[in-house]
Structure 1
């Protein structure tokens, strides 16, 4: 989506968001939904209230034809590096906080492992096929995947998914439930997994290990290795 269109939509939504009851027509509701979608896409910038005001100023100047105070062609290319840096900073802060939680263990790869419920069965090897229920969220709490919502556990080769899972699930026992906080480098890396997982995203998974062995397909939405 072009940033000019993004600016126009966000500015138009400013008045609509003030009072949700004013969304009377189907077009207004659809445009509001577009705003929600765009809002999620720019969360990677982790904007402060003061920075949001700067964004509003830029949108206003663009829509009113006022002379820009910066050159878009010069500073526009900085948007992607800025988003990457902000995402990495927020992820690192989240990992540091998670590592301090009671019962949490930081693994050599940087994964934060926390047992939520002890299992009593065997632990899988990387070459095993495992059956799990799981829920995946961004550090903002936004859920991007859930076997619970699909109403069916996932079954897959443990060495055929992201490295965070391959390493972390091997520490579990059947019947147990654990939380994995996965740094981007052992999740989906610089590329992310569009549209739900942005680049350089730290991810949080709650995983129940239901069984080991059997035939199964790859877990939905997971890549054999993080994209480079």
Structure 2
């Protein structure tokens, strides 16, 4: 969800005022009906969309106040027209901070190697075959998550390995997969600059996101030609 859309969603929730006030009176959410569960899922969606801000407990309370004031038509404490345009800058600053901390911790893990580009490579299972070149087509299974652990893509869930030119995907993959051997599995922790940068890949990948991939190299070139060709879900733009 883009930040302009997020603002619209928060303001547009005024129609749910009665439900929100009723839940507050009960002290906790009561998920009895399908509508209750859908509204709760809406809360989950909004929560995921603001994870990039890495809010502290005190800041979460401030966010709750803004949401409550919108739902109850209370007088806003600040003007949305003034502070709404600052969403992107705050998201960028917070995202960079969270990403850098995650990269530093990932680099400390046993077996992890920090490459000159800034990506963290960790072999999970040694392969025995050849290593691909950047110009090769590779066949892989993979799973991609945000640093929060939210999964945004998985060939395993589709039950269909992906096959694509290695120089046609994000730089982190181009570099990291070349270090693998067929039959091997590795974790690639990708700084935002080697993934989707300031643009992100809405709605699943926020701007300035550090990404974590588990990649299993199944084949190179003509190996595994029986597997349907498919572009990776997050190709380089």
Residue of structure 2 in register with 1:71 after alignment: 79
Contact 1:132/1:154 (<8 A) preserved: yes
Encode CA deviations 1:175-196: one digit per residue, 9 max, x unaligned: 1111000001111111111111
Query: Structure 1 residues 14 and 58, CA, compared in 2 at 3 Å: closer, same or farther?
Result: farther
Are 1:5 and 2:25 an aligned pair? no
- After TM superposition, list the pairs within 5 Å mapping 1:159-178 onto structure 2: 159-178=167-186
Residue of structure 2 in register with 1:207 after alignment: 215
Residue of structure 2 in register with 1:34 after alignment: 42
- After TM superposition, list the pairs within 5 Å mapping 1:1-228 onto structure 2: 1=5, 2=8, 3-5=10-12, 12=20, 15=23, 19=28, 22-214=30-222, 217=229, 219-225=231-237
Q: 2: distance between equivalents of 1:52 and 1:8?
A: 22
**SS at 2:103 equivalent:** helix
Q: 2: distance between equivalents of 1:9 and 1:128?
A: 53
TM-score (norm 2): 0.86
Cα shift at 1:65: 4.3
Cα shift at 1:6: 5.2
**SS at 2:143 equivalent:** strand
Cα shift at 1:30: 1.5
Encode CA deviations 1:145-172: one digit per residue, 9 max, x unaligned: 1111111111111001111000000000
Query: Structure 1 residues 174 and 18, CA, compared in 2 at 3 Å: closer, same or farther?
Result: farther
Q: 1: distance between equivalents of 2:182 and 2:169?
A: 19
How many correspondences in the alignment?
224
Alignment RMSD, CA only?
A: 2.4
**More divergent stretch after superposition (186-195 vs 90-99):** 186-195
Query: Structure 1 residues 84 and 14, CA, compared in 2 at 3 Å: closer, same or farther?
Result: farther
Encode CA deviations 1:92-125: one digit per residue, 9 max, x unaligned: 1000110111111111111100111111111000
**More divergent stretch after superposition (24-33 vs 86-95):** 24-33
Q: 1: distance between equivalents of 2:211 and 2:14?
A: 29
Contact 2:171/2:194 (<8 A) preserved: yes
Q: 2: distance between equivalents of 1:126 and 1:47?
A: 39
TM-score (norm 1): 0.89
Unmatched tracts of structure 2, length 5 or more: none
Q: 2: distance between equivalents of 1:126 and 1:187?
A: 16
Cα shift at 1:224: 3.0
